[in-house]
Structure 1
Amino acid sequence: MQMKNSTAAYGLVSIVLHWVMALAIFALIALGLWMVELNYYSPWYQQAPFWHKSVGLLLVPILLFRLYWRLQQPTPEAPAGHARWERRLATLTHGLLYLLLLLTLISGYMISTAKGDGISLFGWFQVPALVSGLDNQADLAGTLHYWSAISILGLAALHALGALKHHVLDRDTTLVRMLKPETSTHKET
């Protein structure tokens, strides 16, 4: 099983990073939308934000590693038949997803540290508040956090629809190569 990408296929590391991040992002957005509706008397009032912040903090090094990995690995070439506009839209969508995810994570940190308190990572240790006390920090960061997360949902839907279009209508390998790594015996690049 190929760990690294080639010009023809994604390797296992890229595929695992893609799906782990996708699951974490959707879980965080669902949890975030649910937890803001909780009232003080809900048993989840304290626990939901604790889990949301902890998983969000774990996503930071995963995102940074994914960006590093993406820069170190070749990007598989688009299958024959992809129009130029499709390749450009895919590149733009991927770039915006990374940017919005970074903004969402940073703004979440800014919300949580606005009063100068650190953030507990699963109770293991505190991530310190490096920036706090700015005018309207929590409110401005909260607005950015919400809208960047909602934008991620929209772009992820576009991303998924594109993959399904390629799989069902075009009958190419776009979706399949993100589901299983290449298993050929040729040399990794």
Structure 2
Amino acid sequence: MTEQPHEGHGQRYPLSMRILHWLRAALILGLLASGLYMTRLPENDLTTSSLLYPNHKQFGILVWLLALIHLGLRWRHGAAIPGAPAHLAPWEKWLSHLVHRLIIMLTLITPVLGYPMSSSFTQSDGVPFFFLSGIPELLPKNNAAFVVFELLHRYSAYALLCCILLHLMGAMKHRLEDREGDADVLRRML
């Protein structure tokens, strides 16, 4: 059974997509915050190595899996997904489309870059995933490769953070400034 969009003022996303949106938002913001925090701690800090890094890794994998589910739901609910509000300027529609696509792309790429970073780190003890024994490390331990993947993972995470900030600023602009018709896009995700 497919979910039907709500009619009326500002069509809403299907319930499954709204739930997934807020779950992904919480997880991604948590990962970004923990990534910023743990990279500022000393490497020999026991909390960093035994708690923060393993949890960052497994929740990163979860975000990657949820991004795949998100793509599946977008494909499944294609016709039920609201289009851009009619009152938006062409540049706003273009920017919104670009930022949404970048967020989707970066939620796939950032964890993928974290995996080879962890796999190539000489002191890594694997990539855990909750109750499973872990994801096998396919890359050889190599400090030079680690440095490259660490840099790529970091810049990808910063790019994701920038896109999220643009997404939030756009939603707040439409919520607080644009009073015409369906421009309040936040209602679509509530």
Q: Contact 2:114–2:153 (CA<8 Å) still a contact in 1? A: yes
How far off is 1:133 after superposition?
4.6
Q: Contact 2:128–2:135 (CA<8 Å) still a contact in 1? A: yes
> Is 1:20 the equivalent of 2:26?
no
Aligned to 1:9, which of 12, 19, 26? 12
Q: Contact 1:107–1:145 (CA<8 Å) still a contact in 2? A: yes
Tell me whether 85-94 or 119-128 shows the greater mean CA deviation.
119-128
Aligned residues: 178
Matches within 5 A, 1:1-189: 3=3, 5=5, 8-39=11-42, 40-74=44-78, 75-114=81-120, 115=122, 118-133=126-141, 136-171=144-179, 172-179=183-190
For the residues of structure 1 that align with 2:150 and 2:169, how far apart are their CA atoms?
29
More helix by percentage = 2
Normalising by structure 1, report the TM-score. 0.84
Normalising by structure 2, report the TM-score. 0.84
Q: Secondary structure in 2 aligned to 1:98?
A: helix
How far off is 1:45 after superposition?
3.3
How far off is 1:21 after superposition?
0.7
- What stretches of structure 1 of length at least 5 have no aligned partner? 180-189
Q: Provide, for residues 136-178 of structure 1, a one-character-per-residue CA deviation record: whole Å limited to 9, x for no partner.
A: 2211110011111111111111111111111111123311111
For the residues of structure 1 that align with 2:36 and 2:4, how far apart are their CA atoms?
36
The CA RMSD over aligned residues, in Å, is: 2.2
User: Given the superposition, is the C-alpha separation of residues 42 and 131 from structure 1 closer, same or farther in structure 2, using an over 3 Å criterion?
Assistant: closer
For the residues of structure 2 that align with 1:99 and 1:70, how far apart are their CA atoms?
14
Identity of aligned residues (%): 33
Tell me whether 66-75 or 39-48 shows the greater mean CA deviation.
39-48
Q: Contact 1:60–1:105 (CA<8 Å) still a contact in 2? A: yes
- What stretches of structure 2 of length at least 5 have no aligned partner? none
How far off is 1:108 after superposition?
0.5
Q: Provide, for residues 55-75 of structure 1, a one-character-per-residue CA deviation record: whole Å limited to 9, x for no partner.
A: 111112111110111122223
How far off is 1:49 after superposition?
0.2
How far off is 1:4 after superposition?
5.0
How far off is 1:6 after superposition?
6.8
Q: Provide, for residues 8-36 of structure 1, a one-character-per-residue CA deviation record: whole Å limited to 9, x for no partner.
A: 32011111111111111110011011111
For the residues of structure 2 that align with 1:90 and 1:31, how far apart are their CA atoms?
27
